[in-house]
Amino acid sequence: MVRAKKKNQFASIRHIALDMDGTIYKDGIPFSFTKEFLINLQNMGINYTFLTNNNSKTVSEYLGIIQALGLDVTVDNIFTSSQATLRYIQNTYPESNKLFILGTDGMKQEFRNVGYSIVSENPQQEPELVIVGFDTGLTFESLTIGAYWIKQGKPFIATHPDFSCPTDQPRVLVDCGAVCAALEKATGVAPEAIPGKPNPIMLEGIIEKFSLQAHELAVVGDRLNTDIAMTQNSDIVGILVLTGVTAEEDLRNSPFTPDVVVPSIEQLGVLLQRSRQLKVE
């Protein structure tokens, strides 16, 4: 089953932004066709980037996890909401350096790696910006200090809007969006920007990094309200796979319309190969 609005655009795709859970693997186990799909992309001259809102880990940590799945990737193949947020604050607040971050040590390290100073929970150390991400070690103390600085008028930026993070464990992983909701209720201030999915800012970094035109990029994912929502009203091709959370019947009432619907990335690989054969002919 394939539905497409932009088939004639397939031959121009040079880069694919790939969601991970539900797209290339499920419950931490790669699909049987994932490795071959990635190899075939390279053979067709198509680059790819793994795109994730989950910024609890560094890019290097994600690299280790993906390589442990038997996939041959480098740090250049990974882009998280932390990278999107870094790009946003570098462009919007180029003079700012001191950050108060509600996030994991890994997330904080990503910001340190490019020269930012991370302010501690000591209220005597004044930050210039407050950044909120997925903080798996969140404490009440850090939450109150973050709220204090937001209340003092420091710019408040969230990395991504997810309220919970998927897990197969008997718990709800409270994510960035839920923490931001608490901060907004306590301070009366909403985040001024949320660069992660579904914000198209998430894709601008990839377009810039790989010198792409919008029509040369495709987004592949299993979620309508994040992966597909990023591509709406643009020249970017949005491709929905049915190996994750979205079923075909979910399309009927969704405000987000994919350009292409395929059962899995295996069938997507076939479509891409055919489009290149037709181009040659």
Percent of the chain topping pLDDT 90: 84
Enclosing domain of residue 222: 3-53+197-280
Residue 245 lies in a domain: yes
In this prediction, residue 279 has a pLDDT band, given cuts at 50, 70 and 90, of: low
Domain boundary pick from 152, 187, 222: 187
User: Region 75-98: what's the mean pLDDT?
Assistant: 96
User: Region 237-264: what's the mean pLDDT?
Assistant: 93
In this prediction, residue 276 has a pLDDT band, given cuts at 50, 70 and 90, of: confident
Task: Extract the tokens encoding 59.
Answer: 């890019």
Residue 63 lies in a domain: no
**47-79 pLDDT per residue, tens:** 999 999 999 999 999 999 899 999 989 999 999
User: Region 252-262: what's the mean pLDDT?
Assistant: 92
Same domain, 44 and 100: no
Taking every pair of Cα atoms in the chain, the longest distance, rounded to a whole number of angstroms, is 68
Calculate the CA 263 to chain-centre distance. Answer: 22
Report the run of H or E that residue 184 belongs to, with start and end.
helix 176-187
Residue 89 lies in a domain: yes
How many domains are contained in the chain?
Answer: 2
Percent of the chain topping pLDDT 70: 96
Radius of gyration in angstroms for the set of CA atoms belonging to the chain, rounded to a whole number: 19
Same domain, 87 and 180: yes
Same domain, 127 and 201: no
Same domain, 96 and 150: yes
Same domain, 90 and 150: yes
Domain boundary pick from 136, 155, 187: 187
Residue 72 lies in a domain: no
Residue 130 lies in a domain: yes
**181-230 pLDDT per residue, tens:** 999 999 999 999 999 999 999 999 999 999 999 999 999 999 999 999 99
DSSP conformational letter for 227: I
Same domain, 182 and 87: yes
Same domain, 202 and 180: no
- Is pLDDT at 170 greater than 80 in this prediction? yes
Same domain, 100 and 177: yes
What's the pLDDT score for residue 27?
A: 80
Same domain, 167 and 203: no
User: Region 237-250: what's the mean pLDDT?
Assistant: 94
- The CATH number of residue 31's host domain is 3.40.50.1000
Same domain, 124 and 88: yes
Cβ(81)–Cβ(195) below 8 Å: yes
- Is pLDDT at 5 greater than 60 in this prediction? no
Q: β-strands 3-4, 260-262: how paired?
A: antiparallel
Residue 65 lies in a domain: no
Residue corresponding to tokens 């990023």: 230
- Is pLDDT at 231 greater than 80 in this prediction? yes
User: Region 152-164: what's the mean pLDDT?
Assistant: 97
Same domain, 8 and 96: no
In this prediction, residue 7 has a pLDDT band, given cuts at 50, 70 and 90, of: low
Strand residues in the chain grouped as ranges (E): 3-4, 15-18, 25-26, 29-30, 47-52, 78-80, 98-102, 117-118, 129-132, 156-158, 164-165, 173-174, 217-221, 237-241, 260-262
Residue 100 lies in a domain: yes
Same domain, 49 and 111: no
Domain boundary pick from 135, 161, 187: 187
What's the pLDDT score for residue 2?
A: 46
